[in-house]
Every structure is written in structure tokens, then in C-alpha cells.
Amino acid sequence: MGEPLPKLSRIPEGILNPAGYLPFAKERLLPEIWRYLKEGSGNQSTLQANERVFDHIPLIPRPLADVRGSHTRITLFGQTLAHPIILAPLAYQRLYHPHGESASAMAAAAQEGQLCVSSLASQTLEEIITAAGQPLWFQLYWQEDRPRTLKLLQRAIAADYRAIVFTVDAPVKQATIQLPAGIHAVNLETPPPFPSLLPQQSQVFDGWMAQAPCWEDLAWLREQTTLPLLVKGILHPQDAAKVVELGCDGLVVSNHGGRVLDGAPTSLACLPEIVSAVSGRGKVLLDSGIRNGRDVYKALALGADAVLIGRPYIWGLATAGALGVAHVIRLLRDELEMTMALTGAANISEITGQTQS
């Protein structure tokens, strides 16, 4: 197989939705990087279900509604965003384009939106937020213990990140890649040596999970910052209720894009019960499976305050850098606006309940 095609400096013609970027992205990435981006865990059943589940939510047209002057603006944790589409934290973005996370940050800012930067970013936190020219969100992974976690949190705060998204659902990651030279998680310190296990001990329970966070660690983390704190990776309503009871400002309903536990339910299927469990005490965001503006609408209609998109914006990044990412956001927003117009919703708050299950 030949070398990947060069990145584009313009938007390809004829792209009508984010999926239109798929062939352009594939031919511009090495096969192993493309597989890493595409794959989920196990038999890919959760990955595939994430997308299919949206097809089962019908939309009800509401003609004759006067939607002149309508908009998609939301206010989230004190920041006004032009739309409810947030770029999810994806690792090692220099795998997909030399400008990496900085390109995504610039695109999010250009579209008056928001990017959540991964702990596993391939550029420094400071470099990314400088490129954005605005405050960003930071996705925090637990760093084996409290002191190392606090050090990373404090670095993000010092760099002017304004919300913390604590990801808790991936203590064991099954989607992995051998990183090319020069690409690594530049913001993380080298972890301590993995502790030796006794013959009767389990690699999973006494190894990986011994370094994973628990509820007591979440309560401790809440005490370490006054910034908005969201917990990402919640699918059970009892867990959602406990998150807000511990004083967190919200949560992200997510199955990690189908990359962790194959067979987990879809985020969308879990959303209504979690919205009910939170009962207005915190913000509820939805991640995993969003592929178009109708999907965004359906998530909002089932109670989400905003959505996170992942793979689709990386398709744009891999094709045309910041231009591609910005175009993907714009396509999603345009389709959201068209869906709102056809269902008679003049703003985001009017969308809730506008579906028929």
C-alpha cells in the first residue's frame, strides 16, 4: 500500500455531512492509525449500536411554526456557546494532522464552541489553549495516585482551563496503538513502575484496578477545585445520582465510543433515566454515536444539555486540519438548525420532548 495522501489546504467539494469526510480521511492516514481511529473493543457491538440507536428515534414535523430569529445558543458553566456541540477529548491528535490539538482548538473557537482537551494530548496544555485564544475544558484521567493527579489538575488550572471532565470509565483500555516516534502524551510524567504481583494476585483486580479511582477519590477531587467538575463515563442512573450528590456540576453519559466494554448499552438508551435521576441538579451531556445534526437534536430532545462529538471531527482534522474540523462543526450545526426549523423549535430549550419514542 502506498504512502498516505498529503493533507488538504481547502475543504473538499461536495461534502454535505461529516460522513463525507470518511474517504478523504482514510486515504490520508496510515492503515494502523485508521484502524485505531475506527475500532472499538471486542466484537464492535457497542460501537455499531451507538450509531444505530439514533435511527429508532423518530422526529415529528411541526409545520407553520414561526421560527424566524431562532438560534442554537446555550450557556454552559458561565460560557455562552453558539451551539451545543462540544469537541470530545481524543488522544494523540498529531497522529491525524501535524497541527494536532491546536488545530481542533482553533476550529472550536472559530465556530464559537468548545474543545475538551485530553490528558493524552500530543501537544502541551499551554500550546493548545494559546492556539484557541479562549478558555478550554480539560479532560482528566486519574494518574495512579492523588498527588500525581493533583499536580496535573493544577497545571490545567494554571493554564486557564475552565472546566474539568474527569473520565472514570476506562481503567483498562482495549483500543491501543504503537505510537510513532515523536508522538506521546507530552503533559504526563513517566508513570512509576507497575508493582510486582504475587502469584495468587490478579493482574486485573490487584494490578490495573488498584490504580483506578473510586468514589472516595471523586469526593477528594471535588474538594481540590472550585471549577465546574463533570464526570465522564456514566451509564447507570444510581451512579449519576451519586455524582451530583458528591457536589459535581454534571456528568457525561458515555460508553467511551464503544472502546472499553463491548456489550455496554448505548449512551442514548441510558440518557432518559439518567436525566431523571439527576433531576436538574447538574448538567447532563451525551457522548458516543453522534454522527449528524439530527443525532444532536435527538440527544437534546431526550434531555441532554449538550453533546460531545468524537470521531467525526477527527475525520475533518485528518483531511484538512483546522479547516476540516471547523467545517464538520458547521455541518452539524446547519443540520441541527434545519431539524429545529422543521420540528418548530425556536431554541435549544424548546427541543426537549420533541420526539416520539
Gap between the Cα atoms of 230 and 250, Å rounded:
5
The residue whose grid cell reads 424566524 is: 68
Q: Are 254 and 233 in contact (CB under 8 A)?
A: yes
Catalytic-role residue among 83, 97, 256, 327: 256
Q: Torsions phi, psi of 214, nearest 5?
A: -130, -175
Gap between the Cα atoms of 298 and 302, Å rounded:
6
* DSSP codes joined into one string, 121-177: -SS-HHHHHHHHTS--EEEE---SSHHHHHHHHHHHHHTT--EEEEE-S-SS-----
What spatial distance separates the first Cα and last Cα of the chain, rounded to whole Å? 46
The residue whose grid cell reads 475500532 is: 39
Catalytic, 236? Answer no
The catalytic site residues sit at 256
